Amino acid sequence: MGIESEIKLALPAGQVDAATAFFVARTGDAGRDVALDNIYLDTPELTLARSKSALRLRHTPDGWLQTFKTAGSAKGGLHSRHEWEMPVAGNALEIDALLRACEVPEIAEALREAATDLIELFRTNFTRTIWHVHHEGADIEAAIDQGEVIAEVNGETRRAPVSEIELELKSGEEAALHTLAQALSANIPGLAPDDVSKAQRGYTLREQ
């Protein structure tokens, strides 16, 4: 089990080049582009959403990952939550492995209850540009995500854009996330803390 700590910032589409230039200047690296296609699953009754958790299958250039997260807390763009992630053989969940890994009983019970009735609810497809930033003694993975959330509802395709910066703490003190976010905000007009996860955005899109 891991506790994920990251700051999410809503990035105006017109400021993507400025954000890219910021990270290139900080790291001397052009960044690495990764295409990520994500399928979010729940029951028709939204069993997982009601338990404040989310289940995802992610296709990466290196293969498939399954991820189970709690909603955790989000304030001022800082997200803190439990996360269990592991590789899987293909485009199929391995629920038993997630249940063995999950150490939060009430969350594990929700996943066990949902397991036989899971359906695809929505997708998030985006390109992630990644840098590794060393800042104030901390190791931070910085990413610019550009893409969209897609939901099929009663034959209608609904879409919402994704344009954000994520700063994920890999090691070091959480305070470094905040000072790096402050430096970004000082250099990039229009950045704003974003307390809404991609999963929450997908659920909202379905409800519209």
Instruction: State pTM to two decimals.
Output: 0.90
Q: Quote the tokens at residue 202.
A: 């997908």
Tell the residue number behind the tokens 């609810």, with chain if given.
121
* Distance between CA atoms of residues 59 and 99, nearest Å: 21
pLDDT for the residue 78 = 73
- The DSSP element (H or E) to which 106 belongs, if any, is helix 105-114
Signed CA dihedral, 185, 188, 193, 199: sign only: negative
Please, which residues bridge with residue 133 across strands?
Answer: 140
List residues bridging with 169 in a β-sheet.
140
Please give the pLDDT value at position 2.
65
Q: Rounded distance, CA 155 to CA 172, Å?
A: 47
Domain parsing of the chain, residue ranges: 2-207
- What whole-number distance in Å separates Cα of residue 74 and Cα of residue 80? 7
Round to whole Å and give the CA distance between 86 and 104.
Answer: 17
Residue-level pLDDT, tens digit, the chain, 208 residues = 467 789 999 999 999 999 999 999 999 999 999 999 999 999 999 999 998 899 999 999 999 999 998 866 666 767 677 889 999 999 999 999 999 998 888 889 999 999 999 999 999 999 999 999 999 999 999 999 999 999 999 999 999 999 999 999 999 999 999 999 999 999 999 999 998 889 999 999 998 7
Give residue 183's pLDDT. 97
**pLDDT value at position 5?**
85
**What CATH number does domain 2-207 carry, 2.40.320.10, 1.20.200.10, 3.40.50.2300, 2.102.10.10?**
2.40.320.10
Residues 6+ apart with CB under 8 A from 70: 52, 53, 81, 82, 83, 104, 107
